Amino acid sequence: MATIRDVAKLAGVSVATVSNSVNDPGRVSEQLRSRVLKAIETLNYAPRAAARSLRKQSSGLLGLIVADITNPFFTELVQAVEGIASQQGFSVLLCNSDEDPAREEKHLQVLRSQWVDGIILATTGDVSLSRSSLLSQIRVPVVLVDRAFDGLGLDAVVLDNRLAAHQATEHLIRRGHRRIGLLSGPTSVTTGADRLTGYREALLASQIRFDPGLVLEAGFREQQAYDATVALMRLPQPPTAVFAANNLMAIGMMRALSDLGLRCPDDVSVISIDDFAWANVFRPKLTTVAQPVREMGEMAVKLLTDRINGHRSGTGSTHMLESRLVIRESCAAPVQATQPAPARAEAAPSR
């Protein structure tokens, strides 16, 4: 309620002095400053962000758009970003697009007119032309996270998805599996496509023939993964292990296996990308490939604030972080323990 004028009047100084004693203490004598501070105290004065940002041409706000806040990966990302941002004096405007490109677009519009100082965007779905043009109209710094795309020269921080998928697949291969199912994310987004690539590379490295029938593409959500798992296990010759491309899909997969009466890891081994707090409360405890979520959030904020402060300019680059295999209990040797295969896998007719 109290304005800077009131403070000035009470302290018997000009408004400029009030502003200075708060924002540039060096410019005002100690005596006046303390008088001003006392006046602020008694009036319980707080400057209005709107007026301040109008004048300073910066709002102290960061926009954060995530694809699905109930996904533990994003939840943790939000936690990290909010923590660091607020530590650095920024507030964060949270937007949840719920995997809906239309909502994402609307959120971008809002952020644009809110005139946030920067945006961290975990974009949903693939990049439509309209969105990329909207993005390019936005004059504030944007850093992409989790899912990247080229063409706009934006900074991005992403997982080394090929490595992650490679690690997961290789772990299963080491345990002796040769028929490994993949619950793939949509290949229209980088995370989906790259993880598929990593899977294939791992197979190739172990000279296992890639069987397209073993990879089912689904959305990144639980139910689709459930259905895909059922389909996979009903194959004439089902996989002995399944690799789920993210956490939600892992959950759908676990639920499906359990409903099918399949024991894990006795009947089928499972692994997934995305570690999360309760992975070790599931029975069996889930073996996963963990993303350095917190680090990703930190790096995104760092890149963003660097740009905001002008410490960074020019066209952006993609920063790739490494995943880490977390071995727990969900991977065992396949039932008919195939011996570590001889050079040619095709030798054994697989029908």
Partner DNA sequence: CGAATCTTGTAAAACGTTTCAAAACGAATG
Partner DNA sequence: CATTCGTTTTGAAACGTTTTACAAGATTCG
Contact set with a second copy (CB under 8 A)? 1, 44, 46-51, 53-54, 59, 61, 64, 69-70, 72, 75-76, 78-79, 82-83, 86, 91-96, 98, 106-107, 109-110, 112-115, 137, 139, 222, 251, 254-255, 258, 277-278, 280-283
Token couple for 62: 């960061």
Cβ atoms of residues 39 and 11 within 8 Å:
yes
Q: How many CA atoms lie within 13 A of 215 on its CB side?
A: 20
**Is the backbone peptide bond immediately before 284 cis, with ω within 30 degrees of 0?**
yes
283 forms part of the interface with DNA (CB under 7 A) = no
Please tell me the distance from the alpha carbon of residue 342 to that of residue 26, in angstroms, as a whole number.
77
**In sequence order, which residues have a C-beta less than 8 Å from that of residue 90 and are 6 or more positions away?**
60, 61, 62, 117, 305
Please tell me the distance from the alpha carbon of residue 11 to that of residue 6, in angstroms, as a whole number.
9
**In sequence order, which residues have a C-beta less than 8 Å from that of residue 264 and are 6 or more positions away?**
254, 257, 258, 270, 284, 330
Token couple for 43: 């009036």
Using CB under 7 A as the binding criterion, the count of chain residues that bind DNA stands at 28
Min dist CB 56 to a second copy, Å, is 9
What count of residues does the chain have?
351
CB of 10 or CB of 163, closer to a second copy: 10
Residue among 52, 112, 255, 302 that touches DNA (CB under 7 A): 52
91 forms part of the interface with DNA (CB under 7 A) = no
**Is the backbone peptide bond immediately before 265 cis, with ω within 30 degrees of 0?**
yes
DSSP letters of 134-191?
HHHH--S-EEEESS--SSS--EEEEE-HHHHHHHHHHHHHHTT--SEEEEEPPTTSHH
Cβ atoms of residues 229 and 253 within 8 Å:
yes
Dihedral sign (CA 22, 26, 27, 31): positive
4 forms part of the interface with DNA (CB under 7 A) = yes
17 forms part of the interface with DNA (CB under 7 A) = yes
Q: 283 contacts which partner out of a second copy, DNA, none, CB within 5 to 8 A by kind?
A: a second copy
CB of 36 or CB of 172, closer to DNA: 36
In eight-state DSSP terms, residue 278 is T
Q: What is the chain's alpha carbon radius of gyration, rounded to the nearest angstrom?
A: 26
Per CB under 7 A, the segment of 28-36, 203-211, 215-223, 252-260 that binds DNA is: 28-36
Residue among 25, 41, 42, 56 that touches DNA (CB under 7 A): 56
54 forms part of the interface with DNA (CB under 7 A) = yes
Per CB under 7 A, the segment of 40-48, 88-96, 156-164, 288-296 that binds DNA is: 40-48
137 forms part of the interface with DNA (CB under 7 A) = no
Min dist CB 7 to a second copy, Å, is 14
Min dist CB 26 to DNA, Å, is 7
Residue among 10, 28, 165, 301 that touches DNA (CB under 7 A): 28
Q: 4 contacts which partner out of DNA, a second copy, none, CB within 5 to 8 A by kind?
A: DNA
Per CB under 7 A, the segment of 29-37, 79-87, 237-245, 261-269 that binds DNA is: 29-37
Min dist CB 64 to a second copy, Å, is 8
Q: 225 contacts which partner out of a second copy, DNA, none, CB within 5 to 8 A by kind?
A: none
Min dist CB 11 to DNA, Å, is 8
Q: How many CA atoms lie within 13 A of 58 on its CB side?
A: 13
**In sequence order, which residues have a C-beta less than 8 Å from that of residue 42 and are 6 or more positions away?**
10
Residue among 44, 55, 315, 346 that touches DNA (CB under 7 A): 55
140 forms part of the interface with DNA (CB under 7 A) = no
Binding site for DNA (CB under 7 A): 3-5, 13-17, 19-20, 22-24, 27-29, 31-32, 45-48, 51-52, 54-57
